[in-house]
Chain A
Amino acid sequence: MFITRIEKPEKTVLSFCGIKFTRKHKKVFMDLYNKNRFYNAIVKNNFSIAERRGILEDRFYKKTGYFPNLNNPQTFNEKMTWLKLYCHDEVQKKCVDKITFKDYIAQILGKEYVIPTIAVYDRADDINFDELPQKFVIKSNCGWGGDQVIIVKDKTKINIDRVRRQANSWLVTWNNYFYQSFDWEYENLKPRILVEEFLEAIDGDVPDYKFHCFNGEPKAILTIEDRFKKGQIKKTFLDDKWNVLPIRRPHSTVNKNVKKPKLFDEMLKISRKLGEKFPFVRVDFYNTDNKIYVGELTFYPGGGVEPFATKEWDIQLGELLKLPDVKEK
């Protein structure tokens, strides 16, 4: 399949084992990837928790390189997968959907901590571009990782049909995180389209702040810088007194001189307030100089399978978390 003759030398997307893959190949990969999720949606949808566990353990070994012990979870990633399988709290369902999440934050903190919505649509045909302002952002309510987002900076210059087509592809049932890593909150979540206000202060390469709350206490903080520069992503872990921790994720570097944000104390206060109700939650902030927005609440960072550079740090982060007692184990 991949050995077809290439006439013109094209720009390489990825090089692997001495072979340069071009854009053509990437299309093939993405096709296979989506087909796999489609297959999962049909077949794996109806599996019980014991059956899901087998598939997750398989995935865990392939990603992190060691076999998990879910009877007695010790490391951070093991505990994440354990929570995913056995600890189901209905409030989490509300937080995962980006539309109902805003109501939830407005109840607890207030409306000013949330990026205001302009409109919500069920179908891509319903989007009325005449109503919308000059600048806006279109999202789906269950997207992740900046995948299902379109930023519109000038309404007159976009191809409306193309935007509609792209938004329509998000609404397919199997285009859902549940079928990839069994995040139980996403099961039966109805995909919808959401239009938000465009904020210039957040646009571009602004650092992200992610507060990991262990049993309600923000004990570890992750900052991400230079996200859009290829090969220069900086991921730094800090403790709650802004001391750099020697944790490193693979394929990234540590920046030892991270600037402390002005509203750091308020961020701590907010994440304490939000983290009270859950055994573990990661609060993501968009930070400008004089204002804070809560981006999202993440319950299983990296799907519970993202590796650390050494296993020691996986264990030491895991020690911070105390698991709740669950009846059906």
Chain B
Amino acid sequence: MKLFNKKISFKKNFPFIKIQKNIVGTKKDFGHMIGNRMLNYYISKYTPESMEWYMRRLFYKCNRYFPNFENPKTFNEKIHWFKLYYHNPLITTCCDKFAVKEYVEKVLGKGYTVPTIKSWTNVNDINFDELPEKFVLKVNWASGYNIIVKNKDLLNIDRVKHRLNQWMQPWSNSYYHSFNWGYKDMKPVIYAEEYIEQMDGQLYDYKFHCSDGIPRNFLVAADRFKRKSFNFYDMDWNLLPVTRGGPNIRHEIEKPKLFDKMVELSKKLAAPFPFVRCDFYEIGDKVYLGEMTFYPGGGLLDFKPLEWDYKMGSYIQLPEKWL
């Protein structure tokens, strides 16, 4: 278009049109297909039988090969198998980002989760005068539902309440995003957490893929808000030639001091499950559990190259069906 050749800013002339940026990988299809949660909510309410058909369609759009949910072989297919045929009630408590804190206290002991300040079930009950200068507001039943507050005085309280209220509606559940079973019967809670940050402003996230209670490989996530990037490693810190959901990290990463402790903890947490991903942060001398994920990427993010989808899938051994 001529507009771009002349270097006139598009944003200034057309501020009401949202520009879709070039998103890495298949994120474009991903967003388009499953963005409308309200429609998914309606579909699941009235025609639950057609859900499986709908999931197959989504899978093909995002991963570019047609799945076999009865005899799964790849990583993404196996995650879908867990959605459909493995309904362990313990998954629901562990998916819940608020209820998991109690569970972790039972299994590991105190001090492994970020301390909560307070929790509410209705937006109108929140009293912002009680909260400290810095905090993080979260809703428990999906990923990305958090507001980071660094300075409370600059906060537009009505806007925050509106956003939280949107996240509390029944169709905002992660189940209506990509049909992750674990979230289906969850009850929404708003809670405030303490604000945490590493020394250099970065927050590295160490995510262990565990199957049958043993961590097989892990990935490191960095630049959460600017340029999401991930590195896959095996357990001896060798970089694996695979990407998923984003490019590799540009700079080098040092091995954290408490790495062995993280492995130990993830073994304990993953023991009762056939497959789980445990996420950890390292802040100072402490290890914090971020979350336990049973459906990484919803099973809809593709591996590049594809052969790694099969390799990762081969680590997971399927249990008997649980319905």
Residues of A that sit less than 8 Å from B by CB: 2-3, 16-19, 42-44, 46, 51, 54-55, 57-58, 61, 65-67, 69-72
Contacts and interface: CB of A to CB of B under 8 A. Distances in A.
A132 to B, nearest CB: 44
A286 B1 CA distance: 55
Contacts of A69: 124
Contact of B38 (A43, A66, A70, A71): A43
B50 interface: no
B126 to A, nearest CB: 11
A43 B124 contact: no
Contacts of A66: 158
Contacts, number: 48
A16 B124 contact: no
Interface of B: 13-17, 38-39, 42, 45-46, 122-125, 157-159, 161-162, 165-166, 168-170
Given A17-B15, A17-B16, A61-B158, A67 B165 contact: yes
Given A16-B16, A17-B16, A43-B42, A67 B158 contact: yes
Nearest to A69: B124
Contact of B123 (A18, A51, A67): A67
A6 to B, nearest CB: 15
Given A66-B158, A67-B158, A71-B122, A57 B165 contact: yes
Contacts of B159: 61, 67
Given A17-B15, A61-B162, A71-B124, A54 B38 contact: no
Contact of A54 (B14, B46, B168): B168
Contacts of B45: 46
A54 B42 contact: no
A58 B124 contact: no
A65 B124 CA distance: 16
B46 to A, nearest CB: 8
A58 B159 CA distance: 10
Given A18-B13, A42-B42, A67-B159, 18 more contacts: A2-B14, A2-B17, A17-B15, A46-B45, A51-B169, A51-B170, A54-B165, A54-B166, A57-B165, A58-B162, A58-B165, A61-B162, A65-B158, A67-B123, A67-B165, A71-B124, A71-B125, A72-B124
A168 to B, nearest CB: 28
16 contacts: A2-B17, A3-B14, A17-B14, A17-B16, A18-B13, A19-B13, A44-B38, A51-B169, A54-B170, A57-B165, A58-B165, A66-B158, A67-B162, A67-B165, A70-B124, A71-B125
